[in-house]
C-alpha cells in the first residue's frame, strides 16, 4: 500500500462524488460495479452511483463516520 495518500488514487475511478475521510481514504464510486460488496480496496468504502450521490448531497460535512 502506498504510504502517501496522493499515490493511492488512480485518476478517474473515484466517481463524481468522492468524499475523503482519514488519511487518503474515501467514500467513493467505482468503475467496477460488479465488484461492489467485495473486499478489493485498501480501505475505501465504495458505493453505487445513486447512493453515493445521495450521501454527497444530503449528509452534512462533519457528520461522524462509524465503520463496523
The domain segmentation of the chain, as residue ranges, is: 5-58
Question: How far is it, in rounded angstroms, from Cα 34 to Cα 63?
Answer: 29
Q: What is the pLDDT of residues 9-67, one digit of tens each?
A: 666 666 778 888 888 788 888 777 777 777 777 778 888 888 889 998 999 988 998 88
Whole-number pLDDT of residue 20: 85
Q: What is the pLDDT of residue 9?
A: 61
Note the pLDDT of residue 23: 80
Structure confidence at residue 2 as a pLDDT band (50, 70, 90): low
What is the spatial distance between Cα 36 and Cα 33, in angstroms, rounded to a whole number? 5
Helix H or strand E encompassing 58: helix 49-58
* pLDDT on residue 36: 78
Residue reference for cell 481514504: 25
27-30: which pairs have CB atoms within 8 A and are 24 or more residues apart?
Answer: 27/52, 27/55, 27/65, 28/52
Amino acid at each position: 500500500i502506498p504510504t502517501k495518500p496522493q499515490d493511492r488514487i488512480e485518476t478517474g475511478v473515484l466517481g463524481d462524488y468522492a468524499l475523503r475521510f482519514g488519511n487518503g481514504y474515501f467514500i467513493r464510486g467505482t468503475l467496477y460495479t460488479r465488484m461492489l460488496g467485495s473486499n478489493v480496496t485498501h480501505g475505501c468504502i465504495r458505493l453505487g452511483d445513486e447512493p453515493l450521490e445521495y450521501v454527497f448531497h444530503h449528509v452534512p460535512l462533519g457528520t461522524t463516520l462509524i465503520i463496523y
